[in-house]
Structure 1
Amino acid sequence: MEKRRVVITGMGAVTPLGNSVDETWAAVKAGKSGVGPITHFDCTPNKVKYAAEVKNFDPAQYMDASAARKMARFTQYAVAAAKMALDDSNLMGNQKVLDETGCILGVGIGGFEITESGCISYYKSGCSKTPPMTIPELIPNEAGGNICMQFHLHGPTFAVSTACSSGTDALGTAFDMVRNGRMDVCLAGGAESTINGYAVVAFEVLHALSSGFEDPAKASRPFDKKRNGFVMGEGSAILVLEEYEHAKARGAKIYGEVMGYGASCDGYHLTSPNPDGVVGSQCMTRALKDAGMDPSEIQYYNAHGTSTHINDPSETRMVKLAFGEENAKKLKISSTKSMHGHCLGATGAIEAMICVKAINDSFFPATINLDEQDVEGGCDLDYVPNKGVEGNIDAAMSATFGFGGHNGAIIIKKFKD
């Protein structure tokens, strides 16, 4: 059976850079940082004092207040992003379509603040009590479940959990299901919110988080010599993936076309990528093969670029292996995590959304805080330092790499009828 074309017909986002796609993209183009002092909890005991938090978010703008009280933060962000995406795609209230529409979300951890507060209640009660909504609020699939309840979706709905690759893998899974005819329309993306004491301490003991910068806006600095860890972010981005003929028949606007998806697993280490980059590069080569594209056809690569000593040079090696040395040198590469931080399970979806905007606006986002590129450490490609540049983008790749060795890559192309 001939594979069907899959296009993007709606987008929604809640990120540390803004509470909409347009606000987020405007901040990316301006090279603004969404990193600041932690306000979600009292971080006095912690070494880490900053994060990329969502700001000025009011769930009542997107859902009933009583429903919001039964959701963890990651679910609130997901419901808000889903509403924006459905409004954007002009599908809100189209029950005939929504009856068949699914929702596949990447969630790496879920309601961690609920886990934390539930455990505190449990021990304070002498191990006999916990809030009644603890389980329904913390489990990763509740974001998708609440979206379906809020907007009356009845298609296949589930969570994908592959750590920091979750959002990318959710997009790839939804892409496959629409392409292969299981659905005509699917909401796909990711959601995460783990900025709480429990999560920060858990990442601190792994020496994974950035600390010690007086100016939080300077803390996330991928590919720079002074990088010392990632900055935790949060948020959600959701894309409406739709079969092309279905979208065309209803006169939908089309942002771009999903061309290919690839995944691999290092089978190497619980928290570190294999430094040789071989298996990591395979998610990229598989995405290119799936898309039927040559590496030279990709102009922009949105890097995982975590700002850690291990990730950045190993990812650079992956790019060289997948694209070839000459093509890799021609690529414009940036890590927008330098601005929105590392949003864990949501990060692949946020970065795919940024790729769509980059294609439509013919603009290569910057890697901010790249003041002294770590060439000697193996970071020797064009990472668009500090200031974004204009230029044609026919196709972009976004790749993400998660704990456990999970690797995912997705290719989005400028739409042509």
Structure 2
Amino acid sequence: MMSGTRSAIVGIGCVSALGLDVTSFWSALKAGQSGVGPLRLPRYENRFVRVAAQVPPFDAAAHFAPHVLPALDPSSQYALLAMREAVAGSGLDRASFASPRTGVIVGTGAGGTQTITEAAYSFYVAQEKRTSPNIVPSLMPNAAASQIAFELGAQGPTFAVCTACASGNHAVALAHMLLATGAVDRVICGATEAVVHPAGMRAWEALRVLSSDT
């Protein structure tokens, strides 16, 4: 990497417990508003944790085509919505992203864990006879990066970074490295996670790192 090389952030997108866009996020942040609230979660009886910072409910069908939605874990949905906002605010022609010179790097600690949870429930508890072919493309850690590349037509390096809580920072650092070496002209980078589901909450409870009321 060339010493002193700089990268410019030209667009940002955000889906969080404080809102579904950057404006909502920053407004709530500046007002000192917390994203933590009463936990909304089915099939989570006898729970110790009763609060969580959850993304506000939204109609996924209003944002994604019917033939695409079944293959989108919530973690991929969040990434796609954030990407769209970032691209729209970048000032760049969206068509320019459909290029071998566009990379996509998305960090995640676990990938499509809600998909895994639901698949296990349908198999072991509901004992459903059929398994959806969308499970694998939904749960793989690089699903969000791949879905972003599909939607934009990006043909450059496209992959996931899975380094636990450092995944997002590593994704940004790797994006800068790709730009600095001249491998690409632009990179969509960031991170996504969706682990607020019964199995995920039980796992974090077992680590004794969650608060019961705040």
Fold conserved between structures, TM > 0.5? yes
Q: Is the 8 A contact 2:117 2:199 kept in 1?
A: yes
Q: Is the 8 A contact 1:4 1:181 kept in 2?
A: no
Deviates more, 1:119-128 or 1:52-61: 119-128
Aligned to 1:122: 123
Q: Is the 8 A contact 1:3 1:180 kept in 2?
A: no
1-structure distance, mates of 2:129, 2:208 = 34
> Match for 2:186: what amino acid?
V
Q: 1:112 to 1:92 in 2, by over 3 A?
A: farther
Q: 1:8 to 1:59 in 2, by over 3 A?
A: same
Cα deviation 1:200-238 (Å, max 9, x = unaligned): 111111111111x2xxxxx1xxxxxxxxxxxxxxxxxxx
Give the deviation of 1:151 after TM superposition. 1.6
Q: Is the 8 A contact 2:109 2:162 kept in 1?
A: yes
**Higher relative contact order by CA 8 Å / sep ≥ 6: 1 or 2?**
2
> Could you say which structure has the larger radius of gyration?
1
Q: 1:29 to 1:130 in 2, by over 3 A?
A: same
What percentage of aligned pairs have identical amino acids? 34
Aligned to 1:41: 42
Q: Is the 8 A contact 2:107 2:190 kept in 1?
A: yes
Give the deviation of 1:138 after TM superposition. 0.8
Give the alignment of 1:296-311 within 5 angstroms: none
2-structure distance, mates of 1:194, 1:36 = 16
TM-score normalised according to structure 2 size: 0.91
Q: Is the 8 A contact 2:70 2:134 kept in 1?
A: no
Aligned to 1:287: none
> Match for 2:167: what amino acid?
S
Runs of at least 5 residues in structure 2 that lack an aligned partner in the other structure: none
Q: Is the 8 A contact 2:112 2:194 kept in 1?
A: yes
> Match for 2:112: what amino acid?
G
> Match for 1:34: what amino acid?
G
Runs of at least 5 residues in structure 1 that lack an aligned partner in the other structure: 214-218, 220-417
Aligned to 1:51: 52
Give the deviation of 1:179 after TM superposition. 1.7
Q: 1:104 to 1:207 in 2, by over 3 A?
A: same
Q: 1:124 to 1:63 in 2, by over 3 A?
A: closer
Give the alignment of 1:194-343 within 5 angstroms: 194-211=195-212, 213=213, 219=214
Provide the alpha-carbon RMSD of the alignment.
Answer: 1.9
Q: Which has the higher strand share?
A: 1
Aligned to 1:16: 17
Give the deviation of 1:87 after TM superposition. 0.6
Aligned to 1:98: 98
2-structure distance, mates of 1:197, 1:43 = 6
Cα deviation 1:232-261 (Å, max 9, x = unaligned): xxxxxxxxxxxxxxxxxxxxxxxxxxxxxx
Aligned to 2:75: 74
Aligned to 2:186: 185
Q: Is the 8 A contact 1:114 1:134 kept in 2?
A: yes
Q: Is the 8 A contact 2:108 2:162 kept in 1?
A: yes
